[in-house]
Chain A
Amino acid sequence: MPSTATDEALLIAALRRGDETAFVTLLQRYGAPMLRVAQSYVRSRAVAEEVVQETWMAVVTGVDRFEGRSTVKTWIFRILTNRAKTRGEREGRCVPFSVLIGEDEDWDGAVDPERFGHPAYPGHWSAAPSDWRTLPEQRLLGRETLERFRDAVHELPPRQQQVLVLRDVEGWSAEEVCIALDLSEVNQRVLLHRGRSKIRAALEPYLDDVAATALEAVA
């Protein structure tokens, strides 16, 4: 298997020749996360799709100018976020960099503070989380859990959503996300932290239930 860099260089070369397979390969690789990122900048799904389509056209027409100084992925996402930002601003839905954290007004810590009311040891668990290791894999990764996961992701503020999807759903590195979304390393990590914490909290009642039921079935 060729390394990603070789693979991408080949794809770009093919795209320059107008190769349709190369185009579809890139589309399959980045189309879905692009749509998600675009959607968190603009109001409607339709506008997000437009932004993604414009971006692809910009990629195809601009591929001769791609110099390989960044990866193909970050190059494409920089084009995307610039366009999405412009559209979002026109719609009055911009998320200025300075209020990145401010978009999250109700943040009250990763876990409800009331759960750390240990009578003898303040700051320690009084309501500790339950072990999910009893969860059968097919329930954990089943349709219902994934649907709840998706709902929880949609509830996140836009920037947290973007970071979480690219990092944990798409498996990007922190560095790639920073470049593509124009974030500092620290901000990327804060957004990821809040996103993951909230999703855990959102899934907790459901997964606790499933885990408890599974345990009863064994007993």
Chain B
Amino acid sequence: MTAPGLDCRDLVEIVTDYLEGRLPAGEVERFEAHLAICDGCDVYVRQIRTVIQLAGHERPHELPRLVEHLLPAFRTFRRGLL
């Protein structure tokens, strides 16, 4: 499929600008018009959204050691404070 004025190759480079709401109004229309008729790009944008969704589920779990180290230091400091 093809759309006038915007190649798929170009679209994949402005997808972040689009998702960030940083495309100028005319460009948004062009972008969305392309998506409407191009399955490949439509799927591509969905994939990027999936990656973002995935990232939101990736919670690190490395805190215990930090708390362990820092709490004693905090308590020492607080004793000085009180």
Interface Cβ pair total, 8 Å cutoff: 148
Query: Is B63 among interface residues, defined by CB-CB distance under 8 A?
Result: yes
Q: How far is the CB of B23 from chain A (nearest CB, A)?
A: 11
| Pairwise interchain contact B16-A141, C-beta atoms closer than 8 A | no
Q: Which secondary structure dominates where chain A touches chain B?
A: helix
Given contacts A140-B50, A196-B16, contact A56 B75 (CB under 8 A): no
Chain B: which residue is nearest A111 at the CB level? Answer: B12
Q: How far is the CB of B30 from chain A (nearest CB, A)?
A: 14
| Pairwise interchain contact B69-A131, C-beta atoms closer than 8 A | no
| Pairwise interchain contact B8-A123, C-beta atoms closer than 8 A | yes
Bound: A20/B76 CA distance, A = 11
Which chain B residues border A75 with CB–CB below 8 Å? none
The size of the chain A interface, using a CB distance under 8 A, is 57
The size of the chain B interface, using a CB distance under 8 A, is 48
Q: How far is the CB of B4 from chain A (nearest CB, A)?
A: 11
* A residues apposed to B, CB below 8 Å: 18, 20, 23-24, 27-28, 31-32, 35-36, 49, 52-53, 56-57, 60-61, 109-111, 113, 116, 118, 121-125, 128-133, 135, 140-141, 145-146, 149-150, 153, 164, 168-169, 171, 174, 189, 192-193, 196-197, 199-200, 203-204, 207
